[in-house]
Chains A and B, each alone.
Chain A
Amino acid sequence: MEPLERYRPIIDDFDAFLAACQRPLGNAVRVNTIKASVERALEALAEEGVTYEQADWNPRVLRLETDSPGSTWSSFHGFTTGQEEVSAVPPVVLDPDPGERVWDCCAAPGSKATQIAALMDDRGTVVANDNNLGRISALRFNAERLGATSLAVTNDDARNYSLERFDFDRFDRTLVDAPCSCEGTIRKNPDALDNWSEGHISSVAGIQKGIIRRAIQATREGGTVVYSTCTFAPEENEAVVQHALDEEGCRVVDFDLALEHSPGLTEWDGDAFDSSLENAARIYPHQNDTGGFFVAKLEVTAE
C-alpha cells in the first residue's frame, strides 16, 4: 500500500480509501443484452437460486452473491458475463449508437468491446484491437460466447494503427482503455503494487500518449474518444489527456455519471493541467465499494 501514500493530498478521506483498498472485491457481472433482456437474465439467476444486487447507476450491472459466477446457467447461455462494476463505466460514457463505427483499441479480453456491441444492439461495426496475440484468443472466445456479430478483431499496435484494411477512414467513436500500472485493481490483485515504480509509470505513460494521439487521429471530427485507465497515477491520466490537448485537435467534455466520483485534477507535482480536466472522473474504491478507475471524455475538433 505504500506507493499509494503519494495520493494522500488528492484523495478525500484517505484512511477510508486505504481501508477499502485492503478489502477484497466481490463478484460482479454484466447482463449481455445481445442474448437476453435484463428481466430474463434476472429470472434465470433467481431460478437457480443466485442472489444479486442491481447497481443503481446501471441496471445491467449486478453484484452477485456467489463464489463461482461462471458456473451458472445464465453464464452458460451468455446472458451474463463477469465484469467488474467500474469496468462497465467507459462504454457507457462512450455512449455509442446502433450502426456506428467504433474502435476499441486495447480490447482484450473483450469485456468492454462486447459491452459496446450490446449498447449498439449488435448493429454497426465494432473493431476490437489488441497488440497482444496471446490475449486475442480470450477476446475471440468472449465475443462468440456473447454473440457479438458486429465485432471485428485485429491484432496490431494501436499507436500506428492502419485503417487501410477497411472501407472507411475514420471511426465515429473510439475507446482507449489504456494499458496502465493498474493501481486501482489492488482489491482484485493484491500483488498489483509489487513492481510499482515511478519509472514504470513514466514508461507506460509514454505508450498511453502514443495510443491516445492515434485514437484521436482515427476518429472523425465531432466524434468521441473516451480515455480510461484502472490506475490513480495522474501521470497516466490527466497528464496523458493534457498531452492530447496539446498535440491533437480535441477538447475535454462533461458527462453524467451516477456513481460517486471526484473531479479530474488540474494540478499534480508542480504541473498544471487545463481546467477542463475537472470534467474527467476519478472513481476511488471507498466511494462505491468498487475498484479504482479514471475516465475522460473527449470530442474531436478540427484537425
Chain B
Amino acid sequence: MSDGRESDERETNDGQRFDRLPATDAERTVEGRATREEVVDLFADRFGIPPETFDDYTFWEKGAGKIWIYGGEAPTPLRIEAIGMTCLRTRQEHWKPTTDFVQRFGHRATDCVIELDREQARRFASGEDQDLEWWDGDWGYLIAAHEVGVGPEGRPVRDGDAVEGGELEPLGVGLYVHGELRSMVPKGRQRDLES
C-alpha cells in the first residue's frame, strides 16, 4: 500500500479487508474514509466520552463506512473475519454508534444520555419505539440507559478485574425525533424482558 500523501491518486475503499483509520485529515489516502480524530471527536463532542478512553485502541474500516474498535495487535491492511467490535457507521450524514459499542463504552458518556425507567427500558430492549416528550435535550442519536444492579461499585476483593462500576447502565442507541425515541437495538440483540 502506498502512503499516497504525495500522490494525486486517491485510493478507493476495499470493503473486503480491514484498513486502519488515518490519524488525521492530512494522512487520509482513501476517499470518504473517517479519521481517528473525527471518530474520537464525535464521541467526545456528542456524548462527552473523554478522548483518552481510546488511547489504547485503534480504529479500522471494513465495508463501506463500518468502523471497528480494536484493542489488540494487527498490521494494516488485514484480511480476517473481525477485529474487536463494530462501533460506528460512517459515510452517512449522521454517524451512528452501535448498540454493542454503547454498552461497552457508554458508561463514560455525560451528554445525550436519556435515562429510562424500567418499563421504558423494557420497551427499548424489545425494539419498540415510544413517545417520550419530556426529553428536552438534543435530537438525533442518544444513549439510552437505566439503573441496573445497583450495588457495591469498583473492584471486588476476592475476584478482581471488574472493568467498571456505576449505577446507570447503557442499553443501546436510540434515535430521538419529534418527541419519539426509536430503539436502534438490532433484531438479534432484542429481548423480551420483564419490567
Give A residues with C-beta under 8 Å from B.
33-45, 47-48, 59-60, 70-79, 101, 118-119, 121-126, 136, 140-141, 143-145, 147-155, 165-168
Contact of B5 with A by CB under 8 A:
no
Chain A residues lying within 8 Å of B151, measured Cβ to Cβ, are 39-40, 42-43
CB within 8 Å: A-B pair count: 149
Q: A59-B158, A149-B70, A154-B81 are in contact. Are A41 and B149 (CB under 8 A)?
A: yes
Interface residues on B, range: 35 or more
Asked whether A144 and B74 contact (CB < 8 A) given A38-B156, A39-B156, the answer is no
Task: For residue A100, give the distance in angstroms from its CB to the closest CB of chain B.
Answer: 10
- B169-194 vs A, CB cutoff 8 Å, 1 = contact: the mask equals 10100000000000000001101111
**Which of these, B57, B81, B100, B165, contacts A37 with CB under 8 Å?**
B165
Contact call A36/B57, Cβ cutoff below 8 A: no
Q: Which residues of B contact A (CB under 8 A)?
A: 56-57, 69-75, 78-86, 98, 100, 103-104, 125, 148-156, 158-159, 161-165, 169, 171, 188-189, 191-194
The 5 closest A-B pairs by CB, nearest first: A44-B149, A37-B162, A43-B151, A125-B72, A147-B104
Q: How far is the CB of A297 from chain B (nearest CB, A)?
A: 22
Residue of B nearest to A122 (CB): B71
- Among the listed B86, B165, B171, B193, which residue makes an inter-chain contact with A71, where contact means beta carbons less than 8 Å apart? B193
A150 to B156, CA, bound (A): 23
Contacting residue for B193 out of A73, A118, A121, CB 8 A: A73
**Residue in A34, A43, A48, A168 whose CB lies within 8 Å of B163:** A34
Distance of A75 Cα from B171 Cα, bound (Å): 12
